[in-house]
């Protein structure tokens, strides 16, 4: 199978660690990148860096929770330049409350609204256009935590598990329409989000390394790519263990997640 080589790419969560690395990974001459995030200043800086590498870039400061605004922008952007690759990358993380108390309600709600509903909003904004053209590819950025939940991150793990399930369903639905789907499940990736994770982060890789692995998986149109290999293999093996034994092996992953400064009152 020939490598998938998109010319027009939409990327959400573009101003974050993985998002920025993905934008720069795809920034080559002849490509047009549509970069979406909430922070216009960081988007503008990223767009300049993308252009320096020879690609074209446009930006949209949007909150993917605003479905109407997001859909309107995506429809207009696709009408100008049909989108070949949509990367639903935007996501946030949080953990338990103080003293290992239950998760704050607003933090739990936010993770489902952005990580899952925001992903759905992003994909539904372009999927019918891709189906009509009978071409295109959708990549969903999930997490290894969606394959095996982290005990200190209940809503994050559940929201990413929902993204994985949604991606599997999309792949089955869209196969007959010529639209491909890749689910990406990274482990620990060095980023501002990861910096708030105070605990063990085995096999942590750089955002640039993660972006290269993601690009290769999309090029090969893989159905699901979980990485790094050793950590992903360990996570998968836990799925065949008795629950109590699996829980025991998850104890070293205990962590405290610092509050996200972007959402402090």
Point out the residues that are catalytic: 156
CA end-to-end distance (rounded Å), the chain: 50
Measured distance CA(97)–CA(95) in Å, rounded? 7
Measured distance CA(230)–CA(205) in Å, rounded? 12
């Amino acid at each position: 199978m020939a490598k998938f080589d998109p010319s027009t790419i939409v990327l959400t969560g573009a101003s974050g660690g993985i998002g920025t690395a993905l934008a720069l990974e795809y920034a080559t001459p002849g490509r047009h990148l549509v970069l979406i995030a909430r922070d216009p200043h960081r988007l503008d800086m990223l767009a300049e860096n993308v252009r320096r590498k020879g690609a074209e870039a446009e930006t949209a400061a949007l909150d993917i929770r605003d479905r109407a605004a997001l859909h309107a922008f995506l429809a207009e952007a696709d009408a100008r330049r049909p989108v070949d690759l949509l990367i639903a990358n935007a996501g946030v993380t949080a953990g338990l409350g103080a003293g290992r108390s239950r998760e704050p309600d607003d933090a739990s709600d936010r993770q489902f609204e952005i990580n899952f509903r925001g992903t759905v909003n992003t994909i539904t904004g372009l999927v019918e256009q891709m189906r009509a053209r009978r071409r295109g590819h959708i990549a969903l950025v999930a997490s290894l935590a969606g394959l095996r939940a982290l005990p200190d991150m209940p809503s994050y793990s559940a929201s990413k598990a929902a993204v994985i399930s949604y991606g599997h369903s999309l792949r089955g639905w869209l196969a007959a329409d010529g639209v491909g789907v890749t689910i990406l499940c990274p482990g620990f990736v060095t980023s501002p989000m990861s910096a708030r994770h105070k605990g063990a982060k085995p096999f942590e890789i750089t955002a640039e390394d993660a972006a290269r692995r993601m690009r290769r998986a999309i090029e090969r149109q893989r159905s699901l790519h979980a990485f790094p290999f050793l950590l992903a293999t360990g996570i998968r093996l836990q799925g065949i263990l008795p629950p109590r034994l699996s829980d025991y092996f998850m104890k070293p992953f205990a962590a405290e997640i610092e509050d996200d400064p972007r959402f402090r009152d």
